[in-house]
Amino acid sequence: MSDAIATPSSSVSPTASPWAPFRHKMFTLLWVAIVVSNVGTWMHDLSAGWLMATLTPSPLLVASVQAATTLPVFLFALPAGALADIVDRRRLLLIVKIILTIVAIAMSLSVYLNFMNPWLLLIFTLLMGTGAAFIAPAWQAIVPQLVPRPELQQAIALNSVGINISRAIGPAVGGLVIAVVGLWAPFMLNAISFIFVIGVLIWWKAGSGEARALPAERFTGAIRAGLRYTRESGPVRNTLYRAIGFFLFATCYWALLPLIARDLLKGGPSYYGLLLASIGGGAVLAALGLPKLKKILGPNKVVATGSAGTALVLVIFAMSSNQIAGLGASMLAGASWLAVLSSLNVSTQLALPEWVRARGLSMLLTVYFGAMAGGSVIWGNIAGQIGVPTTLLIAAGGAALAIPITWRWKIIADPSIDLTPSFHWPVPVMASEIEEDRGPVMVTVEYQIDPKNREAFQSAMENYGHTRRRDGAFSWGIFEDVSAPGRFLEYFLVDSWLEHERQHHRVTEADIEIEKQVMQYHLGETRPIARHLIAPTPPKSQ
């Protein structure tokens, strides 16, 4: 078996070195490819923001560059996640990267030939953002495929380090290239960086992992399943709530950074590049100390600390005109951003089984980029009305208030949670073969409990019901027999027999503990009686 598709050993200690994922060849190659690609992307983003600032004085249009970058990810992340869960992820990445290379070359030529205008720039930016939307869930979803689960947190942290190394390098180089060569050059260098990634993807022949035991989900069904899982998974929901509270206000300085650099800090494109590089540098430094900080504070306090740091950054940008202070604030911004984003990403990864991983991550991306896109428009519009400094102070107040408001939604950081399939459900007894698309299917389970345990049993069943709906049921409930107190009937409905087979593959080792909470109230030595009922085939018309 090749290194590309081999399952990494799971015997690695959870206390492994922060650099342990680099011992896996495919992770290392893809990490380098992502860093190279992100260097080009940061050069591109800096150039696009500065180009718009030279084409128009409008704060709203300048902020719209950020919105055009992030809005497509907000709109398309979930469909992209569904696609990444049901097709070959490598092939998906390869096709999209080729398309983005063509777009980047066209953008560079448009600037070089003086064809560019504000609206054409927004169109190109929308196209690039759409490509990013279809790449991001697949990139993130392949990480657990490359390293063992105990090294997942280290791998995610290294990915964050890579992103911020590129953030430190890309803007600084981009500002220099703009000054020496011209605004067209960073876009062309971005296209070249994509070509390098394409080469690595062509060399990698891993596909999407192990062979599927069941047919792939249909596209629309996969989207519904992703939304359903997000709705019913408490850890995923909590992470999304915390993400909204942070990104909605943190996006203010991202959207207005070209204006902060030019108008408040009196700098040019090179200084703007230094601000972005300082953000990246602060994030890299924070990544080195983040594991120790998480061990001391825990993930929830780390997110709160990062949010407080971001509020302070917004205040400094609003009230100081000193360029050195601006660089220091940018480093704090990068450290705070890395602390929050890494914690949210780890929490989401650890809450998702493989079958829905890209879709769950796409929901975090949807919230992230939705807040970035919406925030960019909102903060740009507010800045156009009341000025940049006052806008930054308003965002700082919002970021500070979000900390106590979102505190009750706890995120997780426990790699010991086992979300591998348990396959412990008994195989249904069938009198004859059933077509996979027949349905709907109703499953009933009969429990007998001591009536004095009724409330505790019902509470445990409510929690159990979330796992049924999370894994495919569109309806779930329990009833008590009026003629026999303590006899309860649980039911759940799924769309088809194939969807119920998928439930058998989706139930996890962690779900066994939830099931035990229910089973402790069931009387008798045997398992509760389960029955499978399917809607009859309509009679043929005469």
**How many CB atoms lie under 10 A from the CB of residue 178?**
23
Each residue's pLDDT tens digit, 441-464: 999 999 999 999 999 999 999 989
Point out the domain boundary residue: 361, 386, 406.
Answer: 406
Q: H or E element: which one contains 479? A: strand 475-480
What is the arithmetic mean of pLDDT over 217-227? 87
Same domain membership, residue 452 and residue 369:
no
Same domain membership, residue 329 and residue 195:
yes
The domain spanning residue 154 has which CATH number?
1.20.1250.20
Cα 25 from Cα 22, distance rounded (Å) = 7
What is the arithmetic mean of pLDDT over 146-166? 74
Top pLDDT among 250 and 525 is at 250
Strand, coil or helix: what is 81?
Answer: helix
In the prediction, which pLDDT does 491 show? 95
Each residue's pLDDT tens digit, 59-100: 777 777 877 877 787 788 889 888 888 888 888 889 999 999
Share of the chain above pLDDT 70, in %: 94
Same domain membership, residue 376 and residue 454:
no
What pTM, to 2 d.p., does this model score?
0.75
CA distances from 228 to 79, 219, 359, 392 (A): 14, 14, 10, 37
Which of 7-21, 300-314, 459-473 has the weakest average pLDDT?
Answer: 7-21
Share of the chain above pLDDT 90, in %: 28
Determine the structural domain holding residue 392 and report its residue range: 20-208+218-406
Point out the domain boundary residue: 359, 385, 406.
Answer: 406
Same domain membership, residue 460 and residue 343:
no
The residues, any chain, with a CB within 8 Å of residue 288's CB and separated by 6 or more, are 18
In a domain, 431, yes or no: no
pLDDT at 120 over 80: yes
Same domain membership, residue 478 and residue 372:
no
CA-based angle 443:446:450, to the nearest 5? 150
Same domain membership, residue 465 and residue 377:
no
In a domain, 424, yes or no: no
| 534 — pLDDT class (breaks 50, 70, 90) | very high
| 205 — pLDDT class (breaks 50, 70, 90) | low
In a domain, 419, yes or no: no
Q: Are 283 and 160 spatial neighbours (Cβ–Cβ below 8 Å)? A: yes
Same domain membership, residue 400 and residue 457:
no
Cα 352 from Cα 77, distance rounded (Å) = 16
What total number of domains does the chain contain? 2
Cα 516 from Cα 204, distance rounded (Å) = 42
Closest Cα partner for 197 from 135, 265, 287, 250? 135
pLDDT winner (highest mean) among 49-63, 161-175, 334-348, 527-541: 334-348
Same domain membership, residue 304 and residue 171:
yes
Cα 537 from Cα 14, distance rounded (Å) = 52
pLDDT at 3 over 60: no
In the prediction, which pLDDT does 384 show? 86
pLDDT at 540 over 70: no
In a domain, 430, yes or no: no
Each residue's pLDDT tens digit, 385-399: 899 999 999 999 999
Closest Cα partner for 170 from 37, 341, 33, 32? 37
Same domain membership, residue 454 and residue 401:
no
Cα 157 from Cα 285, distance rounded (Å) = 12
Each residue's pLDDT tens digit, 302-347: 999 999 999 999 999 999 889 999 999 999 998 998 889 888 988 8
CA distances from 501 to 217, 228, 245, 352 (A): 12, 17, 38, 19
Q: How distant is the alpha carbon of residue 538 from its chain centre?
A: 43
| 249 — pLDDT class (breaks 50, 70, 90) | very high
Each residue's pLDDT tens digit, 278-296: 887 888 788 777 778 888 8
In the prediction, which pLDDT does 17 show? 66
pLDDT at 44 over 90: no
Same domain membership, residue 465 and residue 363:
no
In a domain, 105, yes or no: yes
The residues, any chain, with a CB within 8 Å of residue 406's CB and separated by 6 or more, are 241, 242, 244, 245, 246
In a domain, 416, yes or no: no
In a domain, 427, yes or no: no
In the prediction, which pLDDT does 206 show? 53
Mean pLDDT of the chain: 84
Given 3-state DSSP classes, what are the helix, strand and coil percentages for the chain, each rounded to the nearest 5?
70, 5, 25
pLDDT at 207 over 50: no
In a domain, 243, yes or no: yes
What is the arithmetic mean of pLDDT over 126-144? 85
The residues, any chain, with a CB within 8 Å of residue 145's CB and separated by 6 or more, are 206, 209
Same domain membership, residue 386 and residue 249:
yes
Same domain membership, residue 186 and residue 62:
yes
Q: Phi/psi class of residue 56: alpha, beta or left (left: φ > 0; alpha: ψ in -120 to 50)? A: beta
Query: What strands, in cross-sheet order, belong to the sheet with 475-480?
Result: 475-480, 487-494, 441-448, 529-534
CA distances from 245 to 251, 350, 389, 404, 411 (A): 11, 21, 21, 10, 13
Torsion on CA atoms 240, 220, 442, 475, rounded to nearest 10: 40
| 7 — pLDDT class (breaks 50, 70, 90) | very low
Top pLDDT among 404 and 24 is at 404
pLDDT at 2 over 50: no
The domain spanning residue 465 has which CATH number?
3.30.70.100
pLDDT at 220 over 50: yes
